[in-house]
Amino acid sequence: MAKHFQAVRGMNDILPAEAAQWQRLEATVRDVLAAYDYQEIRLPLVEKTELFARAIGEVTDIVEKEMYTFADRNGDNLTLRPEGTAGCVRACLEHGLLHHQTRRLWYAGPMFRYEKPQKGRYRQFHQVGAEAYGMAGPDIDAELICLSARLWRRLGLNEVSLQLNTLGSSAARAAYRERLVGYFTARQSGLDEDSRRRLQTNPLRILDSKNPTMQALIAEAPALLDHLDPESLAHFEELKALLDAAGIVYQINPRLVRGLDYYRQTVFEWVTDTLGAQGAICAGGRYDGLIEELGGPATGGIGFAMGLERLVAMLTAAGRPGADSAPHAYLITVGEVAQQIGLVLAERWRDEWPELRLRLNCGGGSFKAQFRRADHSGARFALILGEDEAKTATIAIKPLREAQGEQVTLPQEQATAWLRTAALDKKS
Ligand code: ATP
Ligand code: MG
């Protein structure tokens, strides 16, 4: 037998058994975003490479080594999106969405990064991101954090904590950067290869290193918080007061950085201990410089992105049920006449009750075989259409799960009303 194909490394199938968990997560995310009046924007998976180089920064991990970049047949240099913010800002500028107005937007979908695949880290993964434009904060910063906190509550995820930091104004950062370079330059022998390279290009990012042998050195490094400008300090104090008022618990983490030049003021990350090494489930911050950098007006932006694979893993580990996707009923037809009537009946019932999830037996089979399939389908009821039922325009309904009562026979036109009542009973 020929060897079958395998998916590309780090790019996963989401199989039907897992899809229910994804659906529940996505539905909850949509509800919570709607509760804050965020509007969905749908963006292409592919953008010009230059957009990401400019938006994310030439000297970031993503642009240096993680992008899927290719020339199309026309020779244009394109990249599979590694994140959503760049494309979102690009679309807003292209369509004039930021013209003298504020925007609250969200997007969802696959992102692509050439990383070393491991638990919680993949080459194709999914994010939901939220972005708010035209507001200087810190009120919108606080609201966006409240939104994410509400989402964890709605999902029943308790083992998450919020890390908060501020990166200050770009001037304060530039001064701090000098200090940091001085500190690490004096201790170069303690740096790993990546960090030595970053010392020249992106020294703040050294603070983000996960290398255990460097943690002591990083802990002793000067903290940006101690070198902030008064305006940034005021922004941060006000944000903390708003979060306190809203009952949001946070930890200040002076080493929380986003290594990009356009980030300033607020940065935050939601983390969990329950997922092992890849514990960040949601990361965000203000990026007031980006919109200008991409040719737009000088207007504020803040956003976050969360990793859906990691959230699904948490929900699954916590034993949360997925979306209810089992069929309400499975229609068994015995005999040729019943088979033909069955198809028509099933269509009529779906017209009558659009939410009905009905699986029609296809491919024939004895009553016994069909009954076995009905049971395997997970349906709550088997609808049985035999010769007798076909003649008398009735349908027999047999419960397939425990404690759902006796088999009944009803006129066919009463079937959907009966199933609907049974479905409602289950919910109450
Ligand atoms: P890390 O430091 O873990 O690489 P990052 O700073 O690259 O994270 P962001 O770009 O801020 O991550 O992405 C936001 C969220 O998207 C992360 O908190 C995480 O939940 C998720 N995420 C990022 N990269 C991956 C990946 N390769 N596979 C799965 N999820 C990811
Ligand atoms: Mg990364």
The hierarchical CATH code for the domain 16-169+229-317 is 3.30.930.10
C-alpha to C-alpha distance for 307 and 247, rounded to whole angstroms? 25
387: pLDDT strictly greater than 80: yes
Residue nearest to atom 24 of ligand 1 (CA): 121
* pLDDT bucket at 427, cuts 50 / 70 / 90: low
| pLDDT, tens digit (0-9, with 9 covering 90-100), for 258-299 | 766 678 899 999 999 999 888 999 999 999 889 999 999 999
Longest CA–CA span in the chain (Å) reads: 92
How far, in Å, is the centroid of ligand 2 from the Cα of 170?
23
Counts of helices then strands in the chain (DSSP H, E):
15, 16
237: pLDDT strictly greater than 80: yes
C-alpha to C-alpha distance for 237 and 257, rounded to whole angstroms? 18
| The token pair that represents 408 in the structure block | 């009944």
Strand pairing report for 358-360 and 329-333: parallel
Q: In the predicted model, what is the mean pLDDT of residues 49-62? A: 89
| pLDDT, tens digit (0-9, with 9 covering 90-100), for 19-44 | 999 999 999 999 999 999 999 999 99
Residues with Cβ within 6 A of ligand 1?
83, 113, 115, 120-122, 125, 127, 280-283, 305-307, 309-310
Task: Indicate whether this model's pTM tops 0.75.
Answer: yes
Residue nearest to atom 21 of ligand 1 (CA): 307
Angle at CA of residue 123, ends 119 and 129, nearest 5° = 90
Instruction: Give me the pLDDT at residue 256, please.
Output: 87
Tell me how crowded residue 73 is: count the other CB atoms within 10 A of its CB.
5
| pLDDT, tens digit (0-9, with 9 covering 90-100), for 314-341 | 999 998 888 788 899 999 999 989 999 9
Beta strands in 49-97 (DSSP E): 68-71, 77-80
Query: Which ligand 1 atom minimizes the distance to the CA of 113?
Result: 27
198: pLDDT strictly greater than 80: yes
Residue nearest to atom 5 of ligand 1 (CA): 283
Instruction: Give me the pLDDT at residue 428, please.
Output: 44
Query: Which ligand 1 atom minimizes the distance to the CA of 120?
Result: 29
Residue nearest to atom 9 of ligand 1 (CA): 283
Instruction: Give me the pLDDT at residue 388, please.
Output: 93
Q: In the predicted model, what is the mean pLDDT of residues 300-313? A: 97
Instruction: Give me the pLDDT at residue 61, please.
Output: 84
Tell me how crowded residue 387 is: count the other CB atoms within 10 A of its CB.
12
Every domain of the chain and the residues it spans: 16-169+229-317, 329-425
C-alpha to C-alpha distance for 206 and 191, rounded to whole angstroms? 9
How far, in Å, is the centroid of ligand 1 from the Cα of 122?
9
Q: Which CATH number fits domain 329-425: 3.40.50.800, 3.40.640.10, 3.40.190.10, 3.40.50.1360?
A: 3.40.50.800
- With a pLDDT cut of 90, the percent of the chain lying above it is 72
How far, in Å, is the centroid of ligand 1 from the Cα of 67?
14
Q: In the predicted model, what is the mean pLDDT of residues 150-159? A: 96
* pLDDT bucket at 405, cuts 50 / 70 / 90: confident
How far, in Å, is the centroid of ligand 1 from the Cα of 113?
9
170: pLDDT strictly greater than 70: yes
Instruction: Give me the pLDDT at residue 1, please.
Output: 64
Query: Which ligand 1 atom minimizes the distance to the CA of 281?
Result: 20
C-alpha to C-alpha distance for 128 and 259, rounded to whole angstroms? 21
